[in-house]
Structure formats: C-alpha cells, structure tokens
Amino acid sequence: MERMPLGVSRLDRMIGGGAPAGSVVLLAGQSGAGAREFCYTSALINGLARADHELFDLHYGDVAEGTTVPEEIHYLSFTHERSAVTDEMSVVLDDELVDAGMNDVEFVELAKQYFQLTPVPREWYAASPGDITELGDHTGDSDVLEAFASYLTDHAAGNLVVVDSISDLVSAADDDLGWADLTVLLKGLARASHRWGGLVLLLVNADVLSSTQFGRLQEATDGTLRFEWESGGSERARTLVVQEFRGVLSRLEDENIVRFETEIGDGGFDISNVRKIR
C-alpha cells in the first residue's frame, strides 16, 4: 500500500511510512492540545521535502520505502490570511522552518465565499491585490461548499491538502449551509480521494461538536486522530489517540499502542518516546 508522510517522523515510521495514499483524515482536538500544531508541522515538513532537502533531513530524516512525498502542498483556510497563519506558526515553531517550509506551500483562502452571505463588511475579508490567492477570482463558485469541492477536485490528486478548519463550516451550518450537506460532501470526498491518491487533513475543534456531530464526521472520513489533554496528578499532558484509521490502526493494535504522549517544540509536533499501552 502506497503511503504519504504525515510529516511527524516518529509517527510515520511507526505506521509504515505515513498515511495510506488516498486518505481523508480528521484531526479533532481539544483547545491547545496539538491538533493545529500537527497541521502546521505536516504542511511545513512536506514543504521542506522539495524546497530544502537539508532542513528536511534535519527535521524529518529519511522517507520510508514505499512512501511518496506529495507533489504539492495546499493549505486552505476559510477565514484567515496567509500572513496570520504564518505569524501563528512562528509563535510556536522555528522561524527558519516556517520560512523555508512555506516557500513550497500554496495558501488559499475561501473568505469571499464564507463571509459573503453574512453581515461582515466586504472590506474586512476582501483580499488586497497580490496579498493571497482568492479562490473566487478563478472559480466563479458562490457557495462555500461548492468552492471547497471545486478546489479539491482541481488540486487534491497526488497532493497534500490541509483544511483549516472544518470548525468554521460547523459553526456556519444553518438553512443555507446545512449540516447534512457538509457530512455528505465529506463522504463524497473520501470516495474521490481514494482515486486521487493524495492526503487530505481536516482540522476540527472537538470542543464545538456534539457527540452526534463528531460521530458523523468520523463516519465520513477514513481515519481520526484525537488530540486531548490528560491530567496526571498536578500536571497536564497532551496526548494523541489514533481512532478508526484504515491501514494504520491495525499496525498499532498489533503492538498494543493506541495512545501517545506528545510534545510541541521548535521543530513542530512530535510524539514522545513514552508509549501508553491499552
């Protein structure tokens, strides 16, 4: 089975080189538990693979046999500009890693489609010329889900797409943007992604979801990584739980591993050497 790097070297090595190509993965995190940093790390490390081999080797190392680095990396946001995301990356990650990694990342925002039917003034979200890629300029799609689907159709095949974040669509779900429409779209995405052979990471804040909503998102994707806070005495630790992941979970269960302690440093998100046995 061909694989594509998630960008976290220790985790990738443990699961056979990365996620199965064609996967749609839900990254569901409690606030501050590491899901967003996982997204940043995945985009930047995969960006380094083609932009700066020396830094890639320093932060990641060798790519496993049978693993294919994505041709392109796309970072898609519904509400934020590129500068805001890179500034946030630089708060927690090394500036050199951010600058070099983002050189090979195509950043796209769907703010026009997301905000245009809201009371938000256009000048608050309209892009300045040359500032960022504004998807509406070249697709003509007026609906945010249509624009989202159109972009994936054009760019997801063989590539890494990081979506930051599905939480924006969940919070906007109403009569115009229905929850059922979102979950059906994600089920269709999972079907198409198997043919495309790329990797799609969907970030979501688990704190804003009901148990039913979370269950439906899980059903619509190939795998779920849960990022949680765990208390032990007077200390809190970030943990990563691997759930229902096609082609991945079976490898971990063979070693009785489903939960990892994690850490976030200048080099990005990482799993620690401590393995928690179920």
- Tell me the Ramachandran region of residue 14: left when phi exceeds 0, alpha when psi lies from -120 to 50, beta otherwise: alpha
Helix, strand, coil shares of the chain as percentages rounded to 5?
40, 25, 30
The Cα–Cα gap between 42 and 241 comes to 17
CATH of the domain at 244: 3.40.50.300
Number of structural domains in the chain: 1
Closest residue by Cα to residue 135 from 47, 84, 161, 127:
127
By DSSP bridging, strand 160-164 and strand 73-77 are parallel
B/e letters for 10-23, b = 16+ CB within 10 Å, e = fewer, are ebbebbbbbbbbbb
- Domain range enclosing 273: 3-277
Q: What is the pTM assigned to this prediction?
A: 0.91
pLDDT in single tens digits along all 278 residues of the chain:
799 999 999 999 989 999 999 999 999 999 999 999 999 999 999 999 989 999 999 999 999 999 999 999 999 999 999 999 999 999 999 999 999 999 999 999 999 888 887 788 888 887 654 444 444 444 444 588 999 999 999 999 999 999 999 998 887 766 556 778 889 999 999 999 999 999 999 999 998 888 888 999 999 999 999 999 987 666 788 999 998 888 888 877 776 677 899 999 999 999 985 555 44
Contact 27, 53 (CB under 8 A): no
